[in-house]
Amino acid sequence: MDIIPPPRLYKYQPYNVQTLDNLKDRRIWFSKPIRFNDPFDCSINFAFEKMTGDQWNDYYNELKEIWEKDDDATFKVEYEKYFQGDVLSDELKTGFTLAITKILKSELVYQIQGKGIACFSEKADDILMWSHYSDGHRGFYLEFDTRFEPFSKSLPVKYSETLPILSPRDKTIHPLMILATTKSIGWSYEKEWRAFHEEGDKEFGIDVETLTGVYFGSAMPYVHKEVISLILRDSPTKLYESKISKSEFKVKFQQTQYTPFNYSTEH
């Protein structure tokens, strides 16, 4: 079943040259997972699903057929000991699991070094994320319409106290997607969604209609708001001013328009 993201996703970010460039060119940055600040994020650590004896034998026969047809002599010799009988013995099961893990980890290392991931949140106006990702309310966050790519194909992050569990029999989802969408429960407040691209550490363009709003932090300097308003002048993107609530731990927003500085006016 297809996973449908919420109508809007958000990205918190600081005010700097990179974020302004991306805003001007309508681009999204996809990072390689090895750049993430959480060492557990997309790490090559996982547990295999516990399988019954019959499931193990079915999987064994499937891999044995692949092994028999493979033309790589080195591969043939290295894994020959696992395919000597018609069923997988308990003794070989442990070694077989280690062999599968070795192969899968090697593939995942290659994938993680090259793929690109962009991270978003389904939460608008979160106090913690304002502080962590938007320079203590001096930055801003972007609002995206998820009807457009890459947001329409984004996947939700699942939060867990244990390592992700991979099923050797599941061919419907790549193991990298499971690792990339499973994080420690300590990050659950982010309610994160992730979009994927074949290349990492690159920018990719989005449709002009995709960016529906820019929300200014309550501590953002006025001149920075002016710069962003100039960049987005004549675009369909709406701008929102923020104020800290006097009665709640919340920030309230109101749509606004900025009149760019008129340099022809004498002062």
**In a domain? residue 221:** yes
Please report, rounded to a whole number, the percentage of residues in the chain having pLDDT higher than 90.
41
Please say whether the dihedral angle defined by the alpha carbons of residues 40, 41, 42 and 47, taken in this order, is positive or negative.
positive
Whole-number pLDDT of residue 265: 57
Whole-number pLDDT of residue 262: 65
Residue carrying the six token digits 């099961």: 93
55 and 177 co-located in one domain: no
185 and 236 co-located in one domain: yes
- Evaluate if residue 266 carries a pLDDT over 60: no
Whole-number pLDDT of residue 57: 82
Strand partners, 12: 141
Whole-number pLDDT of residue 172: 65
246 and 196 co-located in one domain: yes
What is the arithmetic mean of pLDDT over 183-190? 92
- Evaluate if residue 246 carries a pLDDT over 90: no
Report residue 48 as tokens: 């295999």
pTM for this entry: 0.79
Pick from 78, 93, 114: which residue ends a domain? 114
**In a domain? residue 77:** yes
- What is the Cα–Cα distance from 176 to 45, expressed in whole angstroms? 11
Whole-number pLDDT of residue 193: 96
What is the arithmetic mean of pLDDT over 81-101? 78
122 and 188 co-located in one domain: yes
138 and 208 co-located in one domain: yes
- Which carries the bigger pLDDT value, residue 189 or residue 80? 189
25 and 145 co-located in one domain: yes
212 and 108 co-located in one domain: no
Please say whether the dihedral angle defined by the alpha carbons of residues 103, 104, 110 and 113, taken in this order, is positive or negative.
negative
Whole-number pLDDT of residue 121: 96
Write out pLDDT tens, residues 47-64.
Answer: 777 778 888 888 888 888
88 and 179 co-located in one domain: no
Write out pLDDT tens, residues 106-157.
Answer: 777 777 778 889 999 999 888 899 999 999 999 999 999 999 999 999 999 9
222 and 162 co-located in one domain: yes
Residue carrying the six token digits 């593939």: 107
Q: What is the 3-state secondary structure (H, E, C) of 223-261?
A: HHHHHHHHHCCCCCCEEEEEEECCCCCCEEEEEECCCCC
What is the arithmetic mean of pLDDT over 237-258? 87
**In a domain? residue 2:** no
Residue 25 in 3-state DSSP? helix
94 and 224 co-located in one domain: no
The overall average pLDDT reported for the chain is: 85
Whole-number pLDDT of residue 71: 85
pLDDT band at 14 (very low <50, low <70, confident <90, very high): very high
**In a domain? residue 82:** yes
Whole-number pLDDT of residue 115: 84
**In a domain? residue 261:** no
pLDDT band at 42 (very low <50, low <70, confident <90, very high): low
- Which carries the bigger pLDDT value, residue 250 or residue 223? 223
Question: How many folded domains does the chain comprise?
Answer: 2
Whole-number pLDDT of residue 88: 74
**In a domain? residue 139:** yes
**In a domain? residue 76:** yes
| Residue 239, domain extent | 8-33+117-256
81 and 128 co-located in one domain: no
Please report, rounded to a whole number, the percentage of residues in the chain having pLDDT higher than 70.
92
54 and 100 co-located in one domain: yes
Pick from 60, 94, 114: which residue ends a domain? 114
**In a domain? residue 1:** no
Pick from 72, 97, 114: which residue ends a domain? 114
